[in-house]
Structure 1
Amino acid sequence: MRSAAVSALAVVVAAPCQAQAGDILTLRGEWTQFFSAAVAGSGDDAPRYGGRIDGFAVVDGERAGLWTGVSFHLHGEFVYGKNTNRVGSFLLLPVNTALNFPQSNTEAADTSYSIVQTIGKARIQAGKINLLEQSSAIPIVGGGGKEGFQHIGLASPPALLASPKVYGAIVSAPLGRLRLGLGVWTPDDWTQRYLPENLFRNGVNAMLVATLPAKIGGQQGFHTLSFFVTSRQSRVGESFPDLRPPPGLEGVPSPSAGGLHVKYTVQQFLWRDPADAARGLGLFGHFGASQGTPDILDWSMTAGIAGSVPLAARPRDKFGIGYFRFSTSPRVDGALADVFPIRDEQGAELYYTAQIGKRLRLTANAQLADPLLESAPVAAYAGLRAKADF
C-alpha cells in the first residue's frame, strides 16, 4: 500500500480537466526529464538521468452522443532511467516524486481510467484514479514533482492511508462558501492493476475534505481540513512505495485495525498579477497527525513560499523555497532505540523554473535532507529538470 499522494485541496478546489468546446476527443502529452546527482552524503555520487512520459485523453461523452455532463478520462504513464531516490544517505522519503511511481529506477508503465459526471456544480469521478496526478493542481505548491517541488515531503506529503492509484469514487460539491469532497476507495495499491476485482476484501478507505476560500488583505487564500480513515490493518514494517522504512521494523507488533489521519492545509497568495490571474506568489503549509494503522507516521508539516517571479521581464518563470518535517510514531522510535536510533526526517528544497518558449520549462533544483537514522549523513542533491508539453 503506497502512502497518501492524496491532495485533498486539489480534489475539491481544482477545476476538472475538460475537453475544449466542440471537441469530442482532447489529447495532450508531457515529457519530463531529470539529470541529477547526490553532491554530499555517502555512496554513489554519479550523475543520473531518468524521465517520464505522460499521455492524457478526455472523451466528451455528451458530444459523442451520450448524456449531459459525462466524460471519460485516460492517463497513461511510462518511467525510465535512474534517479537519486536511494543514494546519498539512508532517507525515509524519496527526493524525486515523479520518478518514484509507478516504480523507481526501472522501466515501468501504468494506466489510470475514470468516468466523470457533472451534475450542476457537483462532480463525481469513479474508476482507477491517480491521486498523485490530482495533487498536481494544488494552488501555489502543486506540480506532483513534474512541476514545482520534487521532494515528496513537499510535492505530496505522505499520510500513508492511500495508494497512488486507488479504485473507487470521489465526489465534490459546494455547500455555501465551503467546497466539500468525499471519497471512498479500496485500501489496496492499484498500481499496475486494472480490473475491478476483490475491491474491498481488506477493508475500506474514506476521506472527507472541507475547503474554505478566504481573503486576507484582499488576496485569495484556501484553508482545508481533511480527514482520512481506513478500516485496514497494516503492519508497522510493511513496505510502502513512498517510504524506505529502516531495518528492524519486522518484529514490531501490528496496531489494531483502523487508522485516522487529520490534516490542515493553507495556501495564501501574497501577490497576484492584476493583468494575469495565472501569475501569483504565496505562502503554503500543512500540519498532519496520524493515529492507528499503519502506525509509522506520528505527524508531518511543511512551510514555504512559491509561485511566479514578480518580474515583468520573466512573466512565466517560477520559484519556490520549502521546508518539510516527517516524524515517526513513538512505537517505531521505541522499537529501534537500541539498534538504529532514529529522529525526525527533515529537509529543504529550492527551485527556479525558467519558461523557454511556449512549451518548454527548465528547472534548477537543490535539496538538503537530514535523514531518519541518527548515524546517517546529511545528504544534498542538485539537478536539472526539463518538461515539455505537447
Structure 2
Amino acid sequence: MKWIIVAAVALTGMLEASAVAQPIEEPKTYAGDFGSRPRLTGDWGEIRDELATRGIRFDVDFLLTPQGVAHEGRDTGAEFWGNAEYTLNVDTGKAGLWPGGFLRVVANSGFGESVLGTSGAISLVNTTALFPKPNEPNTGLMHATFMQFLSPQFGLIAGKMFVLDGSHGEFSGNYRTQFQNGGLVFPLAAALVPISAYGGGIVALPWEGVVLSASAIDPSGTPTNHDVGEAFRDGAMMLSSAHVAVKPLGLVGHQGVSGMWSNKERASLTQDPSNIARVLVSEQFPRLADPGPALRRIIERFFPGLLVPMEPVKKKSDTWAIFYHFDQYLWQPKDDPKRGIGVFFTFGATDGNPNPLKHTYNMGIGGNGVVHGRPNDTFGLGWARTDFSSKFVSFLREQLPLGLNHEDVIEMYYNASVTPWLNASLDLQIIEPGLKKMVDSSGSLENVNTTVVAGLRLWVRF
C-alpha cells in the first residue's frame, strides 16, 4: 500500500511545489445504482471490476466550463469550453507481472471557445482552456509515464509528464473541483515551466509524511509535441521539491518548497526597443494567457517603426524560480482527516528576466464536506496577485500608461457533489487586470477596468 501511495504522489504531482501526498482514487467497485455508483456507466457488466482486480483502470471524464464576461474586460459575452480526458492506469504488481511498477497515460481533447481573450486578464480565467493548446480545439498526449519502485522508499519515473496537474492541495490546485483561475491553481511564477514535457526523475519517501523529488524535463515540451527525439534539443529544466505532512494540534496540514532552474537560451527582457515586437511574438509563456498579441497591436498602432528589428535579439542562458506552499486545516470533525475548514498560501519568486513575472502570491480559505448533509461538497474564497518584472516591455510602460505593475484576482466557488460521478460548480471571479489599456476598433487606447467573470463547471466521470 505504501508503494501505491508514493507512486500516486509521483505520478500526479512530484514536479510541483504544492503537490500533496494523495493516492490515485480507486473505487472498491464500479457497481451500484444510478445515484451511488462511482462512474456513470457503472461496471460494464462486471468487466470493469474484473480489470481493476488485475491492476487495470480506464476512465473517461468530461469537464465542461461555460463562462461569461459579465462586466468590462475587452468585451462582454459568454463562451463554452470543454475538455474530454482519457486516463489509463496499470499496476504491474496486481497484473501479475512484477511489483512496484506503475504505468499512467492521460490524453486530453479540448473543444469550443473560451473567454481567455475577452477577459482582458493575463492570468488565466479558465485553466482548462490551456489544454492541450491554449484556446484552440485539439487533442494531445498530456502524460505517459512508467514508474518503478526499487524499494518502498525510492522510485524512478520516465516518460511524458503532465507537469501542471501536480499542484493539488487540500483547498487549491485542483481545477476540476476547486478554483478555476490559473493564479489560484498553480504559482504563476512558474510561467516558463511547460504544461507537459518529456523527462525523468526520482522520488523518495525517507520518513513517514515526507516526499522528496528531483527531475529533469524538456523546457520546450508541449502537450501536442509527441516526438521524443526532439526533447532536450535546446537545453534542460531541473525541478526539485520537498513536502512534509504536519498535524499541529491534531489538524492536518502540509508544507512544501520547490525550485526550478533551466539552461535553455531565451530572449532577454532587456532589449533595444526595436526588438520588443519580435520578443513578444517569439517568446512563449506556457502558463499565461498570451500577452503578446495585445501588446503587439499597441506597437503596430503607436510605434510601427519598432516592427523592423535593428539589431540581434539579446539572449539569456539561464533562468530560475522558487516556490513555497502550505495548507492547514483550522477545524476538522473528529476522526475525519479529509473534511474541515482551513487556509492555504503560495508564494513564488523568479529572476524577473527572462521570466516576465517577478513575484506571485495566492491565499484563501476553503472547506471540504462541512455543509450538513453534503459530505463531499467543497467551497473556497481566494485572492491571487501577480507582480510583473520591471524589465517586461519597459519601453512601452514608460511611453504609455499600460499598467503592467500587478494583477489581482478574487475568486469564489461552490462545488456540489451531485452524485459520485457528477460535480457541479458555481464560480465568480473579480479581476483587476494588469494590462490597463487596449486598442479599440477606432485605433485609440481604451481603458480596461475591473472585470467580472461568472461561470459554471460540470465534471462528469464516465
Q: TM-score, length-normalised on structure 2?
A: 0.77
Please state how far the C-alpha of 1:253 moved relative to its aligned partner: 5.9
Matched, 1:331 2:391: yes
Matched, 1:301 2:310: no
Please state how far the C-alpha of 1:63 moved relative to its aligned partner: 3.8
Please give the secondary structure, in 1, of the residue aligned with 2:225: coil
Are the counterparts in 2 of residues 336 and 342 from structure 1 also a CA contact under 8 Å? no
Please state how far the C-alpha of 1:281 moved relative to its aligned partner: 2.3
Equivalent in the alignment of 2:170: 139
Are the counterparts in 1 of residues 332 and 339 from structure 2 also a CA contact under 8 Å? yes
Are the counterparts in 2 of residues 161 and 229 from structure 1 also a CA contact under 8 Å? no
* Residues 1:63 and 1:218: Cα distance change in structure 2 (over 3 Å): closer
* Residues 1:78 and 1:373: Cα distance change in structure 2 (over 3 Å): same
Counting aligned pairs with the same residue, the percent is 24
Q: 1:170 aligns with which of 201, 205, 213?
A: 201
Equivalent in the alignment of 2:218: 186
Equivalent in the alignment of 2:181: 151
Higher strand share: 1
Are the counterparts in 2 of residues 129 and 167 from structure 1 also a CA contact under 8 Å? yes
Matched, 1:50 2:81: yes
CA distance in 1, matches of 2:14, 2:201: 15
Q: 1:8 aligns with which of 17, 42, 45?
A: 17
* Residues 1:100 and 1:42: Cα distance change in structure 2 (over 3 Å): same
Are the counterparts in 2 of residues 14 and 138 from structure 1 also a CA contact under 8 Å? no
* Residues 1:34 and 1:292: Cα distance change in structure 2 (over 3 Å): closer
Are the counterparts in 1 of residues 321 and 350 from structure 2 also a CA contact under 8 Å? yes
Task: State the aligned residue count.
Answer: 383
Please state how far the C-alpha of 1:15 moved relative to its aligned partner: 3.0
Matched, 1:358 2:358: no
Q: Deviations along 1:182-227, whole A, 9 cap, x unmatched? A: 1111111232122311322211111121112222232121111111
1:60 is aligned with what amino acid? D
* Residues 1:344 and 1:40: Cα distance change in structure 2 (over 3 Å): same
Q: 2:455 aligns with which of 380, 383, 389?
A: 383
Are the counterparts in 2 of residues 255 and 292 from structure 1 also a CA contact under 8 Å? no
Equivalent in the alignment of 1:245: 291
Equivalent in the alignment of 2:153: 121
Please state how far the C-alpha of 1:254 moved relative to its aligned partner: 4.2
Matched, 1:101 2:131: yes
1:71 is aligned with what amino acid? F
Please state how far the C-alpha of 1:18 moved relative to its aligned partner: 7.0
CA distance in 1, matches of 2:251, 2:336: 14
Q: Deviations along 1:324-372, whole A, 9 cap, x unmatched? A: 0111112116333213342201111000011112211110000011111
Are the counterparts in 2 of residues 30 and 389 from structure 1 also a CA contact under 8 Å? yes
Q: Deviations along 1:144-185, whole A, 9 cap, x unmatched? A: x22200000001222123201010013221234632111111
* Residues 1:5 and 1:320: Cα distance change in structure 2 (over 3 Å): farther
Equivalent in the alignment of 1:92: 122
Structure 1 gap ranges (5+): none
Are the counterparts in 2 of residues 19 and 26 from structure 1 also a CA contact under 8 Å? no
CA distance in 2, matches of 1:360, 1:132: 23
Q: TM-score, length-normalised on structure 1?
A: 0.90
2:109 is aligned with what amino acid? F
* Residues 1:254 and 1:288: Cα distance change in structure 2 (over 3 Å): farther
2:407 is aligned with what amino acid? E
Structure 2 gap ranges (5+): 1-12, 29-51, 270-279, 300-306, 438-447
Alignment of 1:166-315 (within 5 A): 166-176=197-207, 178-235=210-267, 236=269, 237=280, 238-243=283-288, 244-246=290-292, 247=295, 254=314, 256-291=316-351, 293-315=353-375
Higher helix share: 2
CA distance in 1, matches of 2:431, 2:403: 17
Equivalent in the alignment of 2:42: none
1:187 is aligned with what amino acid? P
Please give the secondary structure, in 2, of the residue aligned with 1:132: helix
Task: Return the index of the structure with the highest Cα Rg.
Answer: 2
Please state how far the C-alpha of 1:292 moved relative to its aligned partner: 5.7
Please give the secondary structure, in 1, of the residue aligned with 2:187: coil
Are the counterparts in 1 of residues 341 and 365 from structure 2 also a CA contact under 8 Å? yes
Are the counterparts in 1 of residues 363 and 382 from structure 2 also a CA contact under 8 Å? yes
2:155 is aligned with what amino acid? R
CA distance in 1, matches of 2:169, 2:123: 21
Are the counterparts in 1 of residues 427 and 455 from structure 2 also a CA contact under 8 Å? yes
CA distance in 1, matches of 2:26, 2:159: 17
Are the counterparts in 2 of residues 18 and 58 from structure 1 also a CA contact under 8 Å? no
* Deviates further, 295-304 or 58-67: 58-67
